[in-house]
Amino acid sequence: MRADVQQVADGIYLVHGSNTNWVIIGEGDAVTLIDTGYPGDRQLVLDSLSQVGSSPEAVAAILVTHAHNDHIGSAEYLRSTYGTPVLTHEAEVPHARRDFLHQVSVGEVLKNGWRPGVLPWAVHAIRSGGTAQVPVIEPQPFPESLDLPGGPVPVHTPGHTDGHCAFHLPDAGVVISGDALVSGHPTSRLKGPQLLPDMFHRERARAVASLDLLEGLAADVVLPGHGPVHHGSVREAAGQARERAQRRGVLE
């Protein structure tokens, strides 16, 4: 099975794994890898690097938007095998080590099992390693100056998790939004910019508030943690997601 690799700008690729995306940013012979999918996506991660003419040895660092299993699935494998540093927000470091786990529980999933798409998604998540133990043994907080291929700039967007970060690529006009702003998910009937369903967020109110931070970024391409690439103003995308979140809150 080949990874679904989509070039969205010069040297910037969105990769669709099994229900989760990751991003490859190339500059010269080196690349930055943002997120790594589920544990079961490992071969897809390696294949995606190969497809863009790179390799695990060329990964300068793995940037983690947040430490849920569907985003850090192969981070420790790459760290321990190739010595690749794994960097994340300081508030997410203990989460990546699994000092604690802030992730939707099986009980919460079952409670929401009546919702369209939830049970098929849950089966896929379990089969892909969504409940596996995949701690990163030595995650590191972002240094003061993040000098990596593509020039990604961390933007702390808490709510989905305490240390969730999006990444802005100012020169390319791209935002890698992780799960702070998505464009689709198997458990959602909505298409286009939105927040994930409430059961996935550590603090829903903070997740909604973090849309303000995304609105302030200059970008016209959004690469989400779930769903297809979104072409259009990130300001408008964040506004649409907020409106949908407010409507959902009223309805529920």
Q: Supply the pTM of this predicted model.
A: 0.95
What percent of the chain lies above the pLDDT cut of 70? Answer: 98
pLDDT at 154 (0 to 100):
98
Distance from C-alpha of 86 to C-alpha of 71, rounded to nearest angstrom: 12
The Cβ of residue 78 has, within 10 Å, a number of other Cβ atoms equal to 24
Chain segment 22-62, per-residue pLDDT in tens: 999 999 999 999 999 999 999 999 999 999 999 999 999 99
pLDDT band at 247 (very low <50, low <70, confident <90, very high): confident
**CB-CB neighbours of 237 under 10 Å:** 27
Radius of gyration over every alpha carbon of the chain, rounded to an integer in angstroms:
17
Exposure class string for 215-235: b at 16+ Cβ within 10 A, else e: bebebbbbbbbbbbebeebbb
At residue 251 the predicted structure's pLDDT band, cuts being 50, 70 and 90, is: very low
Residue 248, pLDDT above cutoff 50: yes
* Average pLDDT over all residues of the chain: 95
pLDDT for 249 beyond 70: no
